[in-house]
Amino acid sequence: MSSLPEKKSLLDIITQKIVTSQLWRSIFRHGYPDTPLNQSLVMMGNVFLHLHPVKVSRQAMKITYTWCMGGISFFLFLVLTLTGVFLMFYYVPETHTAYQNINQLSSAVSFGHLVRNMHRWAAHLMVVSVTLHMIRVFYHGAYKPPREFNWVVGVGLFFCTLFLSFTGYLLPWDQIALWAITVGTNLAPYTPILGQPVYQVLVGGPAVGQATLIRFYVGHVILLPLATAILLAVHFWRIRKDGGAAGPPPPSRRELEARLAEAEQGLAPTAAR
């Protein structure tokens, strides 16, 4: 093999040139991740990938176990951030123009209609995926020590998700928006003791109006996304620090004892499980 003169295609030569160039090697400090060393280096040396560990448990990674819901929630959050920034270029939180802006998105902006649709549906889907993620985590008992605090962070993220969706609901300033928020905020005065202050902070006046729109807008595009991003950072960090994904629940002690008893009775095939 080695005695034959190697015939390199042009593509091979160009690839070789690129990956040995100073520019490439200044960005990627390791070779292509097809060896255990490089597979480790890529995970530790890349700021985006280093949220992940180098290795994961095969059991904990299964889609039948995770339902992918946490990851999908995060992915939807990223989609919502990108589409949301796009929408911010065309939307002014002013009661006389807001509705018009939304209409113009559909008629006068390239892809504006599609991007608004994506933002709306992704928001609803995120509420669904976060809820399913919590339900999944409960049934697997993955909130138990040492992961108690990460569950609390998760409840905070659930709250943020609901209120991101709720604040965004008002922005189109149509009949659905105005009255859904009116119904929602009308409950605030019933808060014991703090009722009126809570309503004033949320609505900023006697009824849902311009003051409410700017409050919800600022909450929707700055405060809540920022809070969510911070909580997400803590959430992901804690997954690593608490020992990674919990993995499927172990069998109960009774089941273990039953298996042991079977094994002792000489039922070798079941013992192999």
Partner 1 sequence: MAIEQEPKVQTQAAATQRRYRTLAVVRQEAITRVEKPLEDSVFVWPHLLVREFFASTIVMVMLTLLSVAIDAPLREPANPNVTPNPAKAPWYFLGLQELLHYFPPTTAGVLIPGLVLVGLACLPYVDRNPSRAYADRKIAIVTFTMFVVFWACVTLAGSFFRGPGWVWYWPWQGLFFDL
User: Does 108 sit near partner 1 (CB under 8 A)?
Assistant: no
- Site mask, partner 1, residues 49-88, x = CB under 8 A? x--xxxxxxxx-x-x----x--xx--xx--x---------
User: Does residue 8 interact with partner 1 by CB under 8 A?
Assistant: no
- For partner 1, which is the closer residue by CB, 212 or 221? 212
Query: Rounded to 5 degrees, what are φ and ψ at 175?
Result: -60, -40
Q: 163-186: b or e for each residue (b if 16 or more CB lie within 10 Å)?
A: bbbbbbbbbbbeeebbeebeeebe
Nearest-angstrom CA–CA distance, 75 and 125? 11
Residue closest to 183 by CA, chosen among 170, 194, 198: 170
Task: For the CB of residue 6, give the shortest distance to partner 1 in the complex, in Å.
Answer: 27
Residues 273 and 269: their CA atoms lie apart, in Å, by 7
As given in the structure block, the two tokens for residue 153 are 């962070």
Q: Is 15 in the site for partner 1 (CB under 8 A)?
A: no
Options 2-10, 18-26, 86-94, 189-197: segment touching partner 1 (CB under 8 A): 189-197
Torsion of CA 182, 183, 184, 186, to 10 degrees: 80
Residue from 81, 104, 182, 210 in contact with partner 1 (CB under 8 A)? 182
- In Å, what is the CA distance from 186 to each residue of 60, 105, 211, 224? 44, 31, 15, 21
CB of 247 to partner 1, least distance (A): 8
Using rule CB under 8 A, residue 192 touches partner 1: yes
Give 13's Cβ-side CA count (13 Å radius).
5
To the nearest whole angstrom, how small is the minimum distance from the Cβ of residue 271 to partner 1? Answer: 19
Q: Could you say whether residue 178 binds partner 1 (CB under 8 A)?
A: yes
Residues 77, 227: Cα–Cα separation, whole Å: 13
Q: Does 210 bind partner 1 (CB under 8 A)?
A: no
Among 5, 250, 266, 269, binds partner 1 (CB under 8 A): 250
Q: Smallest Cα–Cα separation from 120: which of 112, 132, 131?
A: 112
Give the residue with the Cβ less far from partner 1, 7 or 253. Answer: 253
Applying CB under 8 A, the site for partner 1 has a residue count of 94
220 binds partner 1 (CB under 8 A): no
Taking residues 23 to 52 in sequence order and writing x for each that binds partner 1 by CB under 8 A, - otherwise, the string is ----------x--x--xx-xx-----x--x
Cα–Cα distances (Å) from 200 to 126, 150, 177, 210, 212, in that order, read 29, 32, 19, 13, 9
The residue length of the chain stands at 273
* Residues in region 112-131 near partner 1 by CB under 8 A: 113-114, 116-122, 124-125, 127
Of 109, 162, 211, 227, the one binding partner 1 (CB under 8 A) is 162
* Closer to partner 1 by Cβ: residue 21 or 117: 117
Q: Binding of partner 1 at residue 255 (CB under 8 A)? A: yes
